[in-house]
Amino acid sequence: MELACTGNESSRNLLSVSSPRPNHPSISKYPKSVSVEEGIEAKALFCVIGMTCAVCAGSVEKAIKRLPGIREAVVDVLNNRAQVLFYPVLVKKETIQDSIEDVGFKATLIEEEMIERSVHIFRIHIKGIACTSCTRTMEFALQGIHGVQNLQVILETEEAEIQYDPKIVSHNLLIEAIEDTGFDVILISTGRDRSKIQLKLDGILTDLSKRMVKNSLQALPGVEAIDFDPTFKKVSISYCPDETGPRNFIQVIESTGSGRFKAVINPEGEGEDSHRQKEVREYLKSFIWSLVFTIPVFLLSMVFMYIPGIKHALNTKVVNMMNIGELLRWILSTPVQFIIGRRFYIGSYKALRHGSANMDVLIASGTNAAYFYSVYSVLRAATSQDFMSMDFFETSSMLVSFILLGKYLEVLAKGKTSEAIAQLLDLAPKTAVLLTFDSEGNVTSEQEIDSRLIQKTDVLKVMPGSRISSDGFVLWGQSHVNESMITGEARPVAKRKGDDVIGGTLNENGVLHVQATRVGSESSLSQIVQLVESAQMAKAPIQKFADRISKFFVPTVIILSFFTWLSWFLAGKLNWYPKYWIPSSHDNFHLALQFGISVVVIACPCALGLATPTAVMVATGVGASQGVLIKGGQALESAQKINCIVFDKTGTLTIGKPVVVATRLLQNIDVRDFFELVAAVEVNSEHPLAKAIVEYAKKFREEENQVWPEAHGFISITGHGVKAKVQNKELIVGNKSLMLDCSITIPVEAEKILKETELMTQSGILVSIDGHMVGVITISDPLKPSAQETISILKSMNVESIMVTGDNWGTANSIAKEVGIETVIAEAKPSQKAEKVKELQSKGLVVCMVGDGINDSPALVAADVGMAIGAGTDIAIEAADIVLIKSNLEDVITAIDLSRKTFFRIRLNYVWALGYNLVSIPIAAGALFPSTGIRLPPWVAGAAMAASSVSVICSSLLLKNYKRPKKLDALEINEIKIE
């Protein structure tokens, strides 16, 4: 029997909306694994005996970092020390010590120090970030600032997430440091909680009135931070939703100063989405303006020179040998070079000032070489009687235009990669109907409000056909709610008084009154979005390959460009190639210069930098839409290598909603009294089998809400059962092993019942009262309809399946035989599950653990990839790398298949990005020119460079068309029929 009892620990469905109502345990926020944004941090120093080399140190470090709540771990193999920074609310020092000893070393705690350190996170939108060189520039600027702990940048959304200690450094100082590197920064969120509201103010004109409003707001409980933007008359307020809410802020502001001030919630469309739209508009505007000047330059250089009448006019001399055509091209190309293209100068200057080189450096180098040589040539013609100038003004202006076009298309394509998040956010309705009540509970008024103004405990009216505005529970009414957009459940779910509902789901046929329990960033929808956003922030290990290359890419290209120019120039001077190779009106210097400029502008580090993160971003978004939440690139990369899956039984292979099917009493005791005692003990446990017993025991009660007798000295023996004292009777409820450990004699009749239940793949729970066996409760937990087919499909994918369960051998073997699993480990404790995972890993297998219970958490952490069933507990979800929110077993296949297709796409992106640079740079340098006469003019090279980044993004966007294996569609149809 897999009875993982957890005392009073709370667990819930991932998407349930249980609230901390009276007499109910508090529900912890999900997902905790995204980040520990603020809390007391502890430092522990361990003496680790047995380490001999860096490999040993790596093993210890990896074992520690697998634990939840670890911020940092540093292992010193020379001094046999391991220093760990951790959050005691999530992990204990004893657990860390055990994890070190689990990998084969002796660990002793030397000292532990509590550090009063607040870890804050703020998120920013960065304008102008183009490649990994830009990321390194930011890292270089921030790494010298004391108090900065971590920086994660995502190129596709141009966002960064920075962890810092607010007691040491402020986020404003960090923003200034980033802006000093050449990037424009827009603050998205800051502080511990992402519950933040922005209000538009009217009436605040002076510093005094601003202080009045600020002091009034700070007096409210739960207000954490207040930021004023006097330019746009806005105030941003970060707050704790348990204590206050946005309607309180508006009321306080409007009551300050005798009603002189007014506040409304900031209109939609002024958030980070608008920043992207603004950037798209800016690039489009710059591109159009560049065309206004570039098209005339192109016509003057490439078209009008071949029209006799116009050619004669353009060749008319102005000063000495300088003609009208050259002067016009100079005048028209100058605004393109210095006004429209100033962004490249600013970016390259600030990058070089910080000792790095990015894409802007390449662009500025190429366009400057073409422009300033042209200026020199024209000025020399103006001061000479016989020098015929040869300018490249069309090259510099066309380069800028093509690059701006490429940037415009790139920003457009990047916006497509985050559409999954936008679609999730669109599920939330814009407005809600707020109800107010009198003292007798009668509705006195209805008011339509912005859904962002909903506060905890608000009662909302939900009409048929409208979406539920907030997570909560039904106070009044009956209806059916379509939750498929969140849970994947195809059929509407019946809801009545007391049932939980999820914000964003669709109310179908009845009126409901819903009390809000989780609002803002605490809602299920917001937490899924936060998880996807955090996953998209995390780099996949394969990204390090591109980072290493990009570090040397730009300097190498500039050196190659110089040597290309020098080689062709010297070859011309030394007559190593025939004169007819030089185009008319050119000389060998011009030819060499064109080759050098082409090399600079055709090279593209952006394509390399975008190859992995764009694919990861699209894949995590697609996964979320399929009900598979992937916590970052590391999990995605590991999933594609899985060749062995370890399945838990209860709630994973089985439905997880067991029911009592039979009760056999072995002594003379009333069945009503029997279940009264057993339920009084099991009500303290969160295990599915315990819940089944409690639910069954309710049938013998006269009153629905009658309180169970109090259980004293409750003890949970994980994987075995529970003990407690009820009405002065000592009760032990659990499996056979627990009874034997407690020296309880098991009668022959009970043994016979247990064997019968095992043959029928049922679980038999033994009940002992005061040391005597009094009954056996038989519980059936049917297999999930998709279990057998899922195991079969995994075999066809060359993935081995193993079942590890705490249930007895008989039941375990029967279940395994039914689903087609050959390897079974039964009666396993949580630590033994983790040991089995490590044993498989030692054989060279890439192991995935699929589970849903608290007792699965150690194995989920130990596995290369942990997958938690969405209906599982908070701790299991916390420990997992991938969450299957629909609780469908076949989503294991979806996760692996999506991962494999994603990394096929990433490899394809790298082949293209590397192949493009390896092939295009030699061609631009003139490698084919001697044999074929093919050469790339600089403006063609610029167009190719712009196209390369866009092509990589478009390649990643093809993942949006991902379809899960067709076998699963047929399997889902069968599952619906069975249900």
CB 32 within 8 A of CB 68: yes
Question: What value, to the nearest 5°, has the Cα angle with vertex 689 and ends 686 and 694?
Answer: 75
Dihedral angle sign, alpha carbons of residues 207, 211, 213, 214: positive
Phi, psi of 111 (to 5 degrees): -155, 155
With H, G, I as helix, E, B as strand and everything else as coil, classify residue 978.
helix
- In the numeric block, the tokens 């999530």 are attached to 90
User: In this structure, which long-range contacts are made by residues 145-151, counting pairs with CB atoms below 8 Å and at least 24 apart in sequence?
Assistant: 145/169, 145/173, 145/174, 145/177, 148/174, 149/71, 149/119
Q: Rounded to whole angstroms, how far apart are CA atoms 533 and 259? A: 40
Helix (H) or strand (E) holding 161: strand 159-164
- In the numeric block, the tokens 């390649």 are attached to 955
Residue 891 CB contacts under 8 Å (≥ 6 apart), including other chains: 626, 627, 628, 884
Q: What tokens does 36 get?
A: 């520990």
Q: Are strands 847-851 and 865-869 parallel, antiparallel or unpaired?
A: parallel
- In the numeric block, the tokens 């490899």 are attached to 907
CB 480 within 8 A of CB 497: no
DSSP class per residue in 478-532: -EEEE-HHHH---S-EEE-TT-EE-TTPEE-SS-EEEEEEE-GGGSHHHHHHHHH
CA-based nearest residue to 667, from 592, 775, 763, 769: 775
Burial 671-685 (b: 16+ CB within 10 A, else e): eeebbbbbbbbbbbb
What is the 3-class SS of 455-471, one letter each residue?
CCCCEEEECCCCECCCE
Phi, psi of 183 (to 5 degrees): -110, 140
Q: What tokens does 63 get?
A: 């074992």
Q: Rounded to whole angstroms, how far apart are CA atoms 712 and 687? A: 19
Q: How many CA atoms lie within 13 A of 199 on its CB side?
A: 28
- The DSSP call for residue 783 is B
Helix (H) or strand (E) holding 228: strand 223-229
DSSP class per residue in 109-122: EEEEEEE----EEE
Q: Rounded to whole angstroms, how far apart are CA atoms 898 and 885? A: 16
CB 239 within 8 A of CB 207: no
- C-alpha radius of gyration, the chain, whole number: 34
With H, G, I as helix, E, B as strand and everything else as coil, classify residue 890.
coil
Output the CA–CA distances (angstroms, integers) from residue 853 to 251, 631, 835, 869, 879, in the order listed: 45, 19, 17, 9, 11
Please confirm, yes or no, whether 648 is among the known catalytic residues.
Answer: yes
Phi, psi of 545 (to 5 degrees): -60, -45
Q: Rounded to whole angstroms, how far apart are CA atoms 437 and 583? A: 87
Q: What tokens does 259 get?
A: 């009603």
- The DSSP call for residue 30 is S
CB 100 within 8 A of CB 46: yes
Q: Rounded to whole angstroms, how far apart are CA atoms 966 and 977? A: 18
Percent helix / strand / coil, the chain, rounded to 5 = 50, 20, 30
Among 391, 458, 471, 648, the one annotated catalytic: 648
- The DSSP call for residue 577 is S
Length of the chain: 979
Burial 145-171 (b: 16+ CB within 10 A, else e): eebbbebbbbbbbbbbbbbbbbeebeb
Question: What is the set of active-site residues?
Answer: 648
